[in-house]
Amino acid sequence: MPSAVSRRAFLQHIAVGAAAVPLAGDILLAQAGRKIRHASFGASGQALSDIRAFSSHGAFELVAVADVDLSRVDPVKKLFPDVRVYQDWRELLKKERKNLDSISVSTPDHMHGTVAMAAMRQGLPVYCQKPLCATIREVRKLTEYARSHRVHTQMGIQVSSMPSQLIPEAIVRAGTIGKVKEVHTFCEKGWGDEGLIPPGADPVPPTLDWNGWIGVGEERPFKSGVYHPAEWRKRVGFGTGTLGDMACHIMSPPYRALGLTAPVSVTAFGPPPTRDNWSLNAKVHWVFPGTPLTADKTIDFWWYDGTERPPEAILSLVGERMPRTGSVWVGTEGTLVLPHMDTPYFLVPSEKFAALTPPSVPTRDHYGEFIDAVLTRQAAPTSGESAKGIVRSALCVEPRQGRLHVFMPPARTTDWPNDTRSAPRSAGIQSLRGRHCSHIR
């Protein structure tokens, strides 16, 4: 059975052999009729959803999958009978590298950074599900590597490519609601746990490599129904709570539309996590530097999850149509309300904007754009300039991780410089690194 491996030990090992592997840019991917040979780290759940989405592109070819639980690979084998299945992701990379043009990472959060870095060091373009990583340090390291080695990257915030999300961005950029004064984002999910992890150990299912599932995490006994397959988001060191699951989706439209950068400060409210579990009902306040689209020199940006909700003034402003999950953008001339996913946006007051003609936005295929980027060696629209997909993602993830890795007493604020490049290195950011901070070097 494969042993667990630390992030530091593994990445020191792969760094030695990386120099002998040609970068993806050296491969002639844009030849007519060329297939993009792909491997997925993860075979079920979100991983299977990602694979299905990729497969709508004519150039996509699924070569291999890796999943620590072999009981969960049958659906992908039915869809792709020729796919090669591995239980150890390291073995897949070792044996299949010469057969691959790209990979996707759809594992539990704690393995995102390690698997993505291993693939990038072998020159492979990476599609990584949100949250990009489990810690700020991992985000910074992946960002730096992708930028310096010009590796194509994209994060799994596919909702942000939907017209229902893009049209509101265009409306705000056009100045329809005036200058934006504040943004409130929220999600009713509750990826936390107020209870204790039951003591003892349960028998490990014969199809599950428990050491492989733990990966770079802290060793612990297997407990049925506690971690795998569906409860890990609640657990410190493996998931990242509701904020980690959903903020990349919900914060992305206002963050992009307003052209926000690194925050000036972040204040976390609510109960702290336990040793093992993320807490419920978070409330987080970021202060971002203002932009030409904001009303002031700074803008307040809020997050609420679980039973936490925006203040009564915001609830009253929106009224009965207030969504359970989404965002409210308060401007000087009106308010935009954006439910999550494909429920239509609306503007307040409705009578003021009744005659508004929504702007047209280009049709987007989030997954297809990644395959196109690999084929043409041109960055996908969701990635911005070449090799900057992770950079953009990092900007959205950094404040989220600040909240997750230090649960400060109410109203305690951590400040850091407003510089995307220096922010993760600042004293403030470093103080946010919890005991589960990675050792990616």
Q: 113-143 pLDDT, tens per residue?
A: 999 999 999 999 999 999 888 888 888 899 8
396 pLDDT tier (thresholds 50, 70, 90)? very low
Highest mean pLDDT among 64-78, 136-150, 354-368, 390-404: 64-78
For 398-438, what is each residue's pLDDT tens digit?
333 333 323 223 333 434 333 333 332 222 222 222 223 33
The DSSP H or E segment spanning 372 is helix 366-376
Gap between the Cα atoms of 138 and 437, Å rounded:
8
Which among 374, 132, 330 has a CA at the least distance from the CA of 244? 132
Angle formed by the axes of helices 46-54 and 366-376, to 10°?
60
Task: Return d(Cα 391, Cα 144) in angstroms, integer.
Answer: 8
Tell me which residue of 367, 368, 338 sits closest to 254, measured CA to CA: 338
Q: What is the pLDDT of residues 272-314, one digit of tens each?
A: 889 999 999 989 999 999 999 999 999 999 999 999 999 999 9
Q: How far is residue 38 from each of residues 253, 358, 380, measured CA to CA in Å?
A: 29, 38, 17
For 270-308, give the DSSP string: SPPP-SSBPPSS-EEEEEEE--TTBSSSEEEEEEEETT-
Give bridge partners of residue 38 from the DSSP assignment. 62, 102
